[in-house]
């Protein structure tokens, strides 16, 4: 028969082995040990402040918990699944070390407020890591952008060549996405760093607790207002999973572009060997596996968000054991998001963009057609007509295997008398970019201003 449970007072029979296996969470929630121990230490200190423990007792508990932590960190701790979870494993080892005093730690506390606190501390620590990693990613993008403030890329809509843009402008668009991701995380932290300790099982407690003092001890910015909400709220996890999902969506979009650009038919980018693989049968191949894996892993992060939303949707108040299903989706998401960000930050500096290939596509794609239409409109031709004239000139040039800028003035005159010698400056691709002076556009001044803002954001001169 299994040993008596911590909660086993009213039970005559042992838990089924299969039930233990089915319900245990320590195999994954052991990862919460640092927050569990920090939270318990804060709880003990505040119990002493409230006069429930003596200062000596609190010190013995705090030191005992440090000893437990040292064992875990050293890999000497024996996790026991029959003790269900990280909380009971830690408490039981504490009691082994310091004796019956360990049993006083759980006064005025339930595992319901305890697990909520532990998970909040864990999610908050990991969100801070994501935020730092996003900074590294943005720093890597900025460096590439700085190297390509004169590289012209065929900008697309509908994935069809549309207008020339600076490669720096394109990369800076991703910086904006990642900066918003960091802001989303920042916002999520505000609601994550709220202490639920003192809510007890669901209704509060008869003991003279001081939830604010616990929150202060843990440097958490907020404290719960409603004990029932405190033990059943997992919105902070949903928000973290959503923030992670958006990060992955952004990474995945970029991966998709790199995969396309690395195809030799595009040839816009050469991949670093460190982040590509070869084929076991086709010697010529260099595959963009890191980008493909990242694009693929995005699915499991979206899945985790959906999984927790589904867990939460039918739960009556307050704590339900279903909530134990909040952890694995987050652990998996955390691993995926942090590794993906680290890989991206390390991989981006290794990309070699190929400006000549991009420029060749800009030419063959008639990316200066809008310029010709705008030029005619500026000469008083109604824009609809200018659009039509330009379309005819494009069709002619395409047949002749030329770019618009290669047509002679006589050829142009066939389409409109309004076209003069000055058309050639308008059709020049560098000039197309320079004339885009609108705020936030691809013009060099706007790109320089964006670079300055992003540099400031990453804390660089």
Active-site positions read 158, 279
**Strands 222-223 and 194-195, bridge-based pairing:** parallel
Q: Which of 85, 181, 332, 371 binds ligand ARG (CB under 6 A)?
A: 85
Distance in Å, CB of 16 to ligand ARG, minimum: 17
Q: Residue 274: is it exposed, middle or buried by C-beta count within 10 angstroms (0-12/13-18/19+)?
A: exposed
Interaction of residue 324 with ligand ARG, rule CB under 6 A = yes
Q: Which of 69, 93, 109, 111 binds ligand ARG (CB under 6 A)?
A: 111
Stretch that binds ligand ARG, among 282-290, 320-328, 351-359, 449-457 (CB under 6 A): 320-328
CB atoms near residue 384 (< 10 Å): 10
Which is nearest to 287 in space by CA: 299, 297, 273?
Answer: 273
Whether the Cβ atoms of residue 254 and residue 298 lie closer than 8 Å to each other: no
CA–CA distance, 11 with 443 (Å, rounded to integer): 75
Closer CB to ligand ARG, 251 or 323, in the complex: 323
Interaction of residue 120 with ligand ARG, rule CB under 6 A = no
The backbone torsions φ and ψ at residue 99, rounded to the nearest 5 degrees and listed phi first, read 85, -165
Interaction of residue 227 with ligand ARG, rule CB under 6 A = no
Stretch that binds ligand ARG, among 131-139, 296-304, 316-324, 440-448 (CB under 6 A): 316-324
CA–CA distance, 212 with 199 (Å, rounded to integer): 12
CB atoms near residue 459 (< 10 Å): 8
Stretch that binds ligand ARG, among 109-117, 270-278, 385-393, 443-451 (CB under 6 A): 109-117
Distance in Å, CB of 324 to ligand ARG, minimum: 4
Closer CB to ligand ARG, 112 or 390, in the complex: 112
Closer CB to ligand ARG, 26 or 271, in the complex: 26
Stretch that binds ligand ARG, among 267-275, 286-294, 317-325, 394-402 (CB under 6 A): 317-325
Distance in Å, CB of 307 to ligand ARG, minimum: 15
Closer CB to ligand ARG, 111 or 363, in the complex: 111
Interaction of residue 25 with ligand ARG, rule CB under 6 A = yes
Closer CB to ligand ARG, 309 or 400, in the complex: 309
Stretch that binds ligand ARG, among 182-190, 321-329, 351-359, 361-369 (CB under 6 A): 321-329
Distance in Å, CB of 83 to ligand ARG, minimum: 11
Count of all residues that appear for the chain in the document: 461
CA–CA distance, 106 with 109 (Å, rounded to integer): 5
Which is nearest to 191 in space by CA: 229, 237, 231?
Answer: 237
The DSSP 8-state label assigned to residue 222 in this structure reads E
Distance in Å, CB of 20 to ligand ARG, minimum: 13
Residue 443's contacts (CB-CB under 8 Å, 6 or more residues apart) are 433, 434, 435, 436, 437
Whether the Cβ atoms of residue 265 and residue 364 lie closer than 8 Å to each other: no
Closer CB to ligand ARG, 115 or 172, in the complex: 115
Distance in Å, CB of 201 to ligand ARG, minimum: 7
x-marked contacts with ligand ARG along 128-167 as a string, rule CB under 6 A: ----------------------------------------
CB atoms near residue 335 (< 10 Å): 14
Whether the Cβ atoms of residue 420 and residue 381 lie closer than 8 Å to each other: no
Interaction of residue 230 with ligand ARG, rule CB under 6 A = no
Which is nearest to 109 in space by CA: 49, 36, 172, 54?
Answer: 36
Closer CB to ligand ARG, 112 or 340, in the complex: 112
Closer CB to ligand ARG, 112 or 450, in the complex: 112
CA–CA distance, 451 with 461 (Å, rounded to integer): 11
Which is nearest to 99 in space by CA: 152, 141, 153, 57?
Answer: 57
Is the bond leading into 318 cis (omega within 30 degrees of zero)?
yes
Q: Which of 40, 41, 89, 112 binds ligand ARG (CB under 6 A)?
A: 112
Tokens 């802001």 -> residue: 183
Stretch that binds ligand ARG, among 107-115, 173-181, 364-372, 386-394 (CB under 6 A): 107-115
Residue 199's contacts (CB-CB under 8 Å, 6 or more residues apart) are 110, 112, 113, 116, 211, 224, 227, 228, 230, 231
* List of residues contacting ligand ARG (CB under 6 A): 25, 29, 85, 111-112, 115, 319, 321, 323-324
């Amino acid at each position: 028969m299994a040993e008596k449970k911590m909660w086993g007072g009213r039970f005559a029979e042992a838990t089924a082995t299969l039930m233990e296996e089915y319900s245990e969470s320590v195999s994954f929630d052991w990862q919460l040990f640092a927050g569990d121990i920090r939270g318990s230490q804060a709880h003990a200190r505040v119990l002493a402040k409230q006069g429930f423990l003596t200062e000596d007792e609190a010190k013995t508990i705090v030191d005992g918990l440090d000893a437990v932590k040292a064992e875990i960190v050293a890999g000497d701790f024996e996790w026991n699944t029959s003790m269900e979870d990280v909380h009971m494993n830690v408490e039981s080892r504490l009691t082994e070390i310091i004796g019956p005093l360990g049993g006083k730690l759980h006064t005025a506390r339930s595992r319901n407020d305890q697990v909520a606190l532990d998970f909040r501390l864990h999610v908050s620590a990991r969100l801070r890591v994501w935020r730092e990693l996003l900074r590294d990613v943005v720093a890597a993008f900025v460096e590439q952008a700085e190297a390509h403030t004169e590289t012209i890329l065929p900008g697309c809509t509908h994935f069809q060549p549309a207008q020339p843009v600076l490669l720096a402008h394109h990369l800076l668009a991703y910086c904006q996405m990642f900066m918003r991701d960091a802001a989303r995380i920042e916002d999520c932290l505000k609601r994550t760093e709220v202490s639920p300790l003192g809510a007890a099982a669901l209704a509060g407690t008869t003991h003279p607790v001081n939830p604010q003092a616990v929150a202060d001890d843990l440097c958490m910015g907020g404290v719960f207002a409603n004990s029932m909400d405190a033990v059943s709220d997992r919105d902070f996890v949903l928000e973290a999973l959503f923030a992670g999902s958006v990060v992955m969506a952004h990474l995945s979009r970029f991966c998709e572009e790199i995969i396309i650009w690395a195809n030799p038919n595009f040839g816009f980018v050469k991949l670093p060997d460190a982040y590509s693989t070869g084929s076991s049968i086709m010697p010529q191949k260099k595959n963009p596996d890191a980008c493909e894996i990242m694009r693929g892993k995005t699915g499991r992060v979206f899945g985790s968000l959906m999984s927790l939303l589904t867990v939460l949707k039918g739960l009556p108040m307050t704590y339900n054991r279903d909530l134990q299903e909040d952890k694995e989706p987050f652990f998996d998401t955390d691993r995926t998001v942090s590794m993906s960000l680290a890989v991206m930050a390390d991989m981006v500096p290794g990309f070699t963009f190929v400006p000549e290939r991009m420029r060749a596509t800009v030419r063959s794609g008639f990316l200066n057609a809008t310029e010709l239409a705008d030029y005619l409109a500026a000469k008083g031709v109604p824009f609809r007509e200018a659009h039509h004239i330009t379309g005819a000139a494009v069709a002619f040039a395409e047949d002749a295997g030329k770019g618009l800028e290669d047509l002679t003035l006589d050829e142009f005159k066939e389409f409109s008398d309004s076209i003069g010698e000055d058309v050639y400056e308008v059709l020049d691709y560098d000039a197309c970019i320079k004339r885009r002076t609108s705020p936030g556009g691809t013009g060099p001044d706007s790109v320089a201003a964006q670079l300055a803002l992003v540099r400031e954001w990453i804390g660089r001169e």
